[in-house]
Amino acid sequence: MSSISYNPPNRFEAAHTTWEGPEPQVRYVAIEDHSQSILSRNTSPDLPFSWSINPYRGCFHGCAYCYARPTHEFLGMGAGTDFQSRILYKPKAGSLLKTALNRTSWQGDPILFSGNTDCYQPLEAQLKLTRACLEVCALFRNPVLLITRATGIQRDIELLQRLHKEASVQVTISIPFHDRNVCRLIEPNAPPPQMRYETIARLHEAGIPVGVNVAPLIPGLNDNQVPDILKHAHQAGAQWADTILVRLPGSVAPYFEKQLREALPDRAEAVLSRIRRARGGALNDSRFRTRMRGQGPEWESTQQLFQITRTKLGLDSRPPISPRTFRRPGAGRQVSLFQPS
C-alpha cells in the first residue's frame, strides 16, 4: 500500500482538502480519547452478541476493506489513511469497565473484544488497555469473546487461561488470506497468515477455545483460498470456523477500490464485478439480515465450498458460552463484628 496520505471526502464535513502538489507522507500519531463509557450495545440482528468493548478507535493494520473506517468521520477525520494513522486510545478503559460491571443493572452478559477495531493492534503492547479490561473481566468472572488478527494476544495467554477456568472465553483469529503476498497488499500492516496460524496453535496448546474467521470473503480475491485457510487453521487447533461477505459501507467502497486498483491492477475490475454480482449490482448492501451474506450462483458456490470443507474438518460447532459465572467481587461476603472499620 502507498505511504501517501489519502482520505475519501468526509460526508460530515463541508470542505474536502485536495492537494495541488504531491500529497504528504503519512504520519502516525496516538491521541487520547476521554470517553466516559466503554461498553457499546449492539442491537443488530446479524450479530450474536449484545455488548462490545473498543479500547482503540482506528487501526494500524490498515486493512483496505475495514468496515469500521467510516467511524473516523464522526471524529472529524478521514476514513482512509487517517483511520490507520491517527489512533485514538481510551486511557481509562479498565476503570470505566469496572464501574460498568459494578452497576446493579449489569447481569454478566458476554462481552466482545472488539466490535470495530482490533484490540491487539501494535499500540496495545505499550498501553495494555485490552489487558486492563480483561483483568477486570477476570475479577468479575465475566464471559469474554475475542476476535483479532494480531499475534499480540499471545502476551495474555495466562490471563486468558484464568478467564477460561473461572468464567468463559472464546478467541477467534481472523484469517481472510492464505497467500502471504495478497495479504500484504490488502492488509499491509497486519501479521502474515503463517503467524496467525501459529497464534491459533499457541492458544490451542494453552487450552483456550479458539476458532478461525475467514472474513471478509472477497469474491475473486480470496474465495479460492478458503480450503487452504480452513485446513491450516484446523491443523493448528481451531475448533470452529465462520465467514462473512466483504462489507463496503459509505467511504469504505471508494477507499477499497482505490487501494485494490493500485495493488492488483490486473485483477481489480474482475474482483469488483464479482462483488457487485454478489450484492445484486452494488458494492454494498447495508440492510440488516442481508449485509453479511451475498446472492447469486457464484456466492452460493463459494458458500457451499466453505460449508463442505468446514464440515469435513469438524469446524462447524462452536462451544457454548454462558453468563452464569458472573459475580461482583466481595458480594455476599460476611464482615466480622470485631473487624475494624
Query: How confident is the model over 264-283, as pLDDT tens digits?
Result: 999 999 999 999 999 999 99
CA–CA separation, 46 and 48 (whole Å):
7
Is the peptide bond prior to 114 cis by the omega test (within 30 degrees of 0)?
Answer: yes
Is the peptide bond prior to 216 cis by the omega test (within 30 degrees of 0)?
Answer: yes
Neighbours of 223 (CB within 10 A): 21
The better pLDDT of the pair 111, 317 is held by: 111
Its pTM stands at 0.91
Beta bridge partner(s), residue 213: 174, 242
Which DSSP category does 279 fall into?
T
Query: How confident is the model over 63-98, as pLDDT tens digits?
Result: 999 999 999 999 999 999 999 999 999 999 999 999
pLDDT at 26: 74
17-25 average pLDDT score: 58
Rg of the chain (C-alpha set): 21
CA–CA separation, 340 and 8 (whole Å):
63
For the domain spanning 29-317, the CATH number is 3.80.30.30
Give the neighbor-by-neighbor strand order of the sheet with 29-32.
Answer: 29-32, 86-89, 56-57
pLDDT at 49: 78
pLDDT at 330: 79
Given a cut of 70, is residue 47 above it in pLDDT?
yes
Q: Tell me the CB-side half-sphere exposure of residue 67, using CA atoms within 13 A.
A: 18
Neighbours of 130 (CB within 10 A): 29
pLDDT at 334: 46
Write out the H or E segment, with its range, that includes residue 8: none
Give the neighbor-by-neighbor strand order of the sheet with 241-245.
Answer: 39-41, 51-53, 111-113, 144-148, 169-174, 210-217, 241-245
